[in-house]
Amino acid sequence: MYLEKSTIESILETIDTLQVKQNEVVLILLSELDLPDMDLLIQQLNDKKVAFFGGVFPGLIIGNQMFSTGCILKKFKAIVMPFCLSGIGQVQVSDFPDYKTPEEFRNGTALVLLDGLAPNIYAFLGKLNELLGGECGFIGGGAGFMSLQPQKCVFCEEGFKQNAAVVCIIEKKVNLGIRHGWEHFAGPMVATQVEDNTIKQLNWRNAIDVYNEIVSVDCGTTLNQDNFGKIAQGYPFGILRENEDDIVRDPIALNGDGSIECIGEVPPNTVLHVLKGRPAALLEATKQAMRDCGSSESQPINASETLIVDCITRALFLENQFIEEMNIIRNSLQISSPDQEPYGVLSLGEISSYGDGMLELFNKTIVVGTFN
């Protein structure tokens, strides 16, 4: 349920109408504009003794619309109630609550919301995978703000947190479609020196020098710290995988030493390509994502719910065509009630796994999860 205004009152009233039971949890997705007093909201939600978790995102999706205000409230039956893990980079398996065995999560889906600008997300996802195994589906995204300034962005009954993750396993099985549609523009090249999210060298040279040689020719402008964010969003990096789409890494800033900051980690010595997007290719990828979820020309998906985690930079890149991407999704679904309208967030990084493979943080990717 989408609320145009994220007031505490409206949120609480709506939750009242949801009649949340003891084994149920409320997912609260907030848009970064007109945020309520989060501490007060959490306190009052705790007073209501309602299980909840959520995050703040640059934008929200309802149907084929994108919203920069308001909030979405969704009620789920929980297998594991939300838990919070602070200090993402330092989390160990022993820090996780000792829940049930992975086999019991087989019919569930882990909803993962984390600080999209936190370091060491890859390691955290590895630990999460170790805890929950490959038994359940994963879908989630990086919370945060358009300013790309690290700040509190995820919450649960423990409070409003930065550099943290909230996880809840709901009793719904998900079908996933993960695609981006970005194409190789230049490469391959080797990330010969990286440090977490920062590419310092490409092919044993200063990263920006190599990147500039590729991008400036195409866009006609030499990149610097001022124009880097705007230009680089059209030229992301792709981490090569055989027989699968590259994993996209969004370059978001140029550091003074010529190193390039990305959303999500880049493995050292990995093979990268500079990617370039074409709206048509991106939209085609969205169609493929929906096919991955089970749709076909003749048979739209009859899902009780559809959750979309779409990258904010992908949305920005598509500009006006973003609505077409949403329509592709919507048109792939059988929607017979408002509850079946797809909803989601515009994220700083998308979280999912390919089937029962590795849990990954993607960039510039659309992740669609349809729940039966």
Residues that bind another protein (CB under 8 A): 93, 102, 126-127, 129-134, 188, 190, 239-244, 247, 267-271, 353-359
Evaluate whether 192 touches 257 at the Cβ level (below 8 Å): no
Give the residue with the Cβ less far from another protein, 275 or 315: 275
Considering the complex, what minimum distance in angstroms separates the CB of residue 271 from another protein?
4
For another protein, which is the closer residue by CB, 36 or 236? 236
Reduce the DSSP state of residue 221 to 3 states and report it: coil
Cβ-based nearer residue to another protein, 186 or 252: 186
Of the pair 270, 370, the CB lying nearest another protein is at 270
Q: What is the largest CA-CA distance in the chain?
A: 59
Which H or E run contains 188?
strand 183-190
144-148: long-range pairs with CB below 8 Å, 24+: 144/56, 144/57, 144/58, 144/115, 144/116, 144/117, 144/348, 145/32, 145/56, 145/58, 146/32, 146/58, 146/312, 148/117, 148/229, 148/252, 148/253, 148/348
User: Quick one: 295 or 353, whose CB is closer to another protein?
Assistant: 353
Q: Find the shortest distance in angstroms from Cβ 363 to another protein.
A: 15
Which positions ≥6 away from 195 have C-beta within 8 Å? 259
Asked if the peptide bond before residue 188 counts as cis, ω within 30 degrees of 0, the response is: yes
CB of 136 to another protein, least distance (A): 11
Which CB atom, from 27 or from 367, has the smaller least distance to another protein?
Answer: 367
Cβ-based nearer residue to another protein, 16 or 213 = 213
- How far apart are CB 242 and another protein at their closest, in Å? 5
In the beta sheet, which residues pair with residue 316? none
**HSE (CB half, 13 Å, CA atoms) of 264?**
27
Q: How far is the CB of 317 from another protein (least distance, A)?
A: 25
CB of 178 to another protein, least distance (A): 12
Tokens of 264: 């999500």
How near is the Cβ of 128 to another protein at its closest, in Å?
Answer: 9
> Of 189, 203, 192, whose CA–CA distance to 274 is shortest?
189
